[in-house]
Amino acid sequence: MNEIIKISNLSKRYKNIIAIQNLSLSIKKGQIYGILGPNGSGKTTTLSILTGIIHEDSGSFQWFGNAPSPNSLKRIGTLIESPNFYPYLSLYQNLKIIATIKSYPDSDISRVLGITNLLTRKHSNFMTLSLGMKQRLGIAATLLGDPEVLVLDEPTNGLDPEGIAEIREIIIKQAKDGKTILIASHILDEVEKVCTHVAILKEGKVISEGSVHALLSEDEIIHIVTKKQDEFMEALVREGLVKTIEKVEDEIVLSLAKGSSSGDLNEFAFKNGFVLEKIEVSKQSLESQFLELIK
Amino acid sequence: MRKLLQIESIKTLNNPGFRIILALHFLLFLLVVYVFTRIDITAPGFSTKNMFMFPHVWEIYAWIASWFNLLFLGLIIILLTGNEFNYKTVRMQIINGLSRNEFLSGKLLIIFFIAIWAALIVFLSGIITGLIFTKDISMQLILDKSYMILIYFFQAIAYMSFALMIAVIFKSNALAIIMYLLYFIMIEPIARLFFPKEVRPYFPVKVISDLTPVPEFLSITSNSTEVSGNNVLDFESIGLFQKALPLHLSLIMGVFYTILFIAISYWIIKKRDF
């Protein structure tokens, strides 16, 4: 069974606000799938529907090839926004509640507290933890029972750089262990470093989806230096080879039209007698891709 | 069932608010019982000491304890349920695979065990006091009217189911407590006045509170009206005193309302986005 999550035409509306609209996604086993989008784009709503805390208005989704049920949720480790625990209970007692719901042995509690460096605080009350520790406990809860899938919504929210690095390390370790991870984040650098696949949401709709590699190579940025700058720019536009083109100081900075490659551009220059003194290809960061898409 | 009990026991027994309210419930009930037993008023054909003899002790204790049901046990359930919404722990449990049905069942289990605890206190207090104050003890005398403990137990469940529904509707502890108390003190008593006399005894709080009525030997108001036959003192017609339904009818209506409160709670929990 290869497909872990299949979402078909999912929609949700809060009074007059459309949170998500006909959202369809498919997440396969072993993928580290990032959901990106500005605030209010529907990331948390999507994950909340998938994890049963809110109801969809229309559409459907499947977990592990079956209709969603509390039993399918027991196979998933989930952290939605900030972790929700009983403030007056100890870390152990809070995790014991989850372990009991999922029918996992108590021995697993110490294991996950060890992974998240919280073992020494095992008997401290949740309310005494720092923000970073609370977030780590949230991650610990998702790891209980070594689930096949992790669903993480803004897992580094509100953390300092050190806390972010710690959480990222844990996620990368889980990814290396072969888990399927669905992660919603607005920290693009994080998604770029961790994810294999990404979907970008805007106003509740998927505006771009695919592997991170494909998405990033889609828009190669090419820097060219030539003596006949204006003529070359005109020729390229006439030929339809470029998507965007501009002059930046003594360089031409362009992105290629779909189906064109830097080789095509080089060949075109050679055939038309343009001498290229410099041709440098750089990839756009996910951040610039993202910002361009959500414009 | 065992799993739910385990989960609820971790949440409930370690909750400082729960411990304090339950301890207050226990201590204040014992204090009230102690003070009542120290009162010695004797009139021709009446002595307060008689209240603590079998079988009257069951009626008087069930009646006294019913006020504690309303105040303390209802508040405990609002606190325990409201906390789940305030701390958003209901979300945490659902995303980890607890069904909404199981969530509600957990709360009903707690209600059941708290009701057992409350009934046990009344039963033990009644047995001890009855044994102290009754001169000629027989098993028949002890058992006579001891069914009041079962009725008290059911009344506790009914009050707590009502509190559960209020907590589920309002989510916030403070708001739920205010609405719960307002309903008892103002909303229903005022609402009853707008209905014909025959309908008034069928209101939920009236039905539930009438399960443990004022013991006959204490219902001076109703007796005095009947004896005087004075229309000016006809409290029932002006809504200040309303006759209770017969016990069996109160029980049937009580069961109906309890099921209704639980069904409403279930429906809201099932439909709500957390």
Q: Show which of A169, A194, A213 is a domain's final residue.
A: A213
Q: Which residue of B has its CA nearest to A138?
A: B92
- Restricting to B residues 69-98, those with a Cβ less than 8 Å away from any Cβ of A are 83, 87-89, 91-98
Q: Show which of A180, A213, A246 is a domain's final residue.
A: A213
**Torsion over CA of B237, B240, B246 and B251, rounded to 10 degrees?**
140
| Residue A117 belongs to some domain of the structure | yes
Contacts across the A-B interface (CB distance below 8 Å): 76
Are A64 and A195 in a shared domain? yes
| Residue A293 belongs to some domain of the structure | no
Mutation to test the B interface, candidates A82, A101, A150, A182, most B Cβ within 10 Å: A101
Contact A70 B102 (CB under 8 A): yes
Pairing label, strands A180-185, A149-153: parallel
Q: Which has the higher per-residue pLDDT, A272 or A89? A: A89
Neighbours of A292 (CB within 10 A): 13
How close is the nearest chain B Cα to the Cα of A90, in Å? 10
Determine the structural domain holding residue A130 and report its residue range.
3-213
Are A234 and A134 in a shared domain? no
Contact A84 B14 (CB under 8 A): no
Confidence check: pLDDT of A33 > 90: yes
Confidence check: pLDDT of A279 > 70: yes
> Given CB atoms, is B231 within the 8 Å cutoff of chain A?
no
Sign of CA dihedral A235, A241, A246, A252: negative
Q: Which residue of A has its CA nearest to B274?
A: A53
Give the Cα separation of B161 and B174 in Å (integer): 18
Stretch among A261-275, B86-100, B233-247 having the lowest mean pLDDT: B233-247
Are A104 and A168 in a shared domain? yes
Q: Which residues, listed in sequence order, are joined to residue A244 by a DSSP beta bridge?
A: A255
**Structural domains of chain A, count:** 2
| Residue A288 belongs to some domain of the structure | no
Confidence at A281, pLDDT banded by 50, 70, 90: confident
Q: Where are the alpha helices (DSSP H) in B48-146?
A: 56-68, 74-86, 89-95, 100-133, 139-143
- The amino acid occupying position A71 is N
Percent of chain B surpassing pLDDT 90: 72
How close is the nearest chain B Cα to the Cα of A248, in Å? 51
Confidence check: pLDDT of B46 > 50: yes
Contact A141 B96 (CB under 8 A): yes
Query: Residue A245 carries which DSSP code?
Result: E
> Given CB atoms, is B2 within the 8 Å cutoff of chain A?
no
Confidence at B244, pLDDT banded by 50, 70, 90: confident
Say yes or no: ipTM exceeds 0.90.
no
**Structural domains of chain B, count:** 1
Are A163 and A69 in a shared domain? yes
For residues A102-126, average pLDDT: 95
Consecutive H or E run containing A211: strand A205-211
Are A37 and A137 in a shared domain? yes
Instruction: Report which listed range, A202-211, B83-92, B242-251, is most confident.
Output: B83-92
> Given CB atoms, is B229 within the 8 Å cutoff of chain A?
no
Give the Cα separation of B193 and B197 in Å (integer): 8
A70, A83, A100 member nearest B7 (Cβ): A100
| Residue A292 belongs to some domain of the structure | no
Are A166 and A185 in a shared domain? yes
Tokens of A111: 């294991």
What is the pLDDT, as a whole number, of residue B240?
Answer: 55
What is the pLDDT, as a whole number, of residue A218?
Answer: 64
| Residue A107 belongs to some domain of the structure | yes
* Residues in B touching A99 (Cβ below 8 Å): none
| Residue A121 belongs to some domain of the structure | yes
> Given CB atoms, is B236 within the 8 Å cutoff of chain A?
no
* Residues in A touching B3 (Cβ below 8 Å): 100-101, 103
First to last CA, chain B: 24
CATH of the domain at A160: 3.40.50.300
Confidence at B268, pLDDT banded by 50, 70, 90: very high
Are A119 and A259 in a shared domain? no
Confidence at B124, pLDDT banded by 50, 70, 90: very high
A72: three-class secondary structure by DSSP: helix
Q: Which has the higher per-residue pLDDT, A261 or A60? A: A60
Are A222 and A133 in a shared domain? no
Q: Which has the higher per-residue pLDDT, A228 or B151? A: B151
* Residues in B touching A52 (Cβ below 8 Å): 94-95
State pLDDT tens for residues B68-78.
888 899 999 99
How close is the nearest chain A Cα to the Cα of B15, in Å? 7
The beta strand positions in chain B, using DSSP E, are: 42-43, 46-47
pTM of the model: 0.84
What is the pLDDT, as a whole number, of residue A123?
Answer: 97
For residues B185-194, average pLDDT: 94
Are A69 and A197 in a shared domain? yes
Query: Residue B246 carries which DSSP code?
Result: P
> Given CB atoms, is B15 within the 8 Å cutoff of chain A?
yes
| Residue A294 belongs to some domain of the structure | no
Mean pLDDT of all residues belonging to chain B: 89
What is the pLDDT, as a whole number, of residue A75?
Answer: 94
Confidence at B236, pLDDT banded by 50, 70, 90: low
Please compute, for residue B219, the number of CA atoms within 13 A of its CA located in the half-sphere on the CB side.
17
Are A98 and A227 in a shared domain? no
- Residue A189's alpha-carbon distances to A185, A230, A286, A287, B261, in angstroms, are 10, 36, 7, 7, 51
Are A24 and A55 in a shared domain? yes
B7, B97, B273 member nearest A53 (Cβ): B273
**Cα A271 to the center of its chain, rounded Å:** 43
Give the Cα separation of B227 and B233 in Å (integer): 11
Residue closest to B180 by CA, chosen among B195, B190, B169, B191: B169
A88, A89, A102 member nearest B97 (Cβ): A102
Residue closest to A77 by CA, chosen among A174, A164, A8: A174
Question: Packing angle between helix B147-170 and helix B74-86, nearest 10 degrees?
Answer: 30
Consecutive H or E run containing B148: helix B147-170
Q: Which has the higher per-residue pLDDT, A259 or A106? A: A106
Determine the structural domain holding residue B197 and report its residue range.
2-271
For residues B143-156, average pLDDT: 94
| Residue A289 belongs to some domain of the structure | no
Are A268 and A144 in a shared domain? no
Percent of chain A surpassing pLDDT 90: 55
Contact B95 A51 (CB under 8 A): yes
Q: Show which of A196, A213, A230 is a domain's final residue.
A: A213
Contact A86 B83 (CB under 8 A): yes
Q: Which residue of A has its CA nearest to B13?
A: A89
B177: alpha, beta or left? (left if phi > 0; alpha if psi -120 to 50) = alpha
CATH of the domain at A239: 3.30.70.980
Q: Which has the higher per-residue pLDDT, B92 or A228? A: B92
**Torsion over CA of A57, A58, A64 and A69, rounded to 10 degrees?**
40
Q: Cα-atom radius of gyration of chain A, to the nearest Å?
A: 23
What is the pLDDT, as a whole number, of residue B51?
Answer: 84
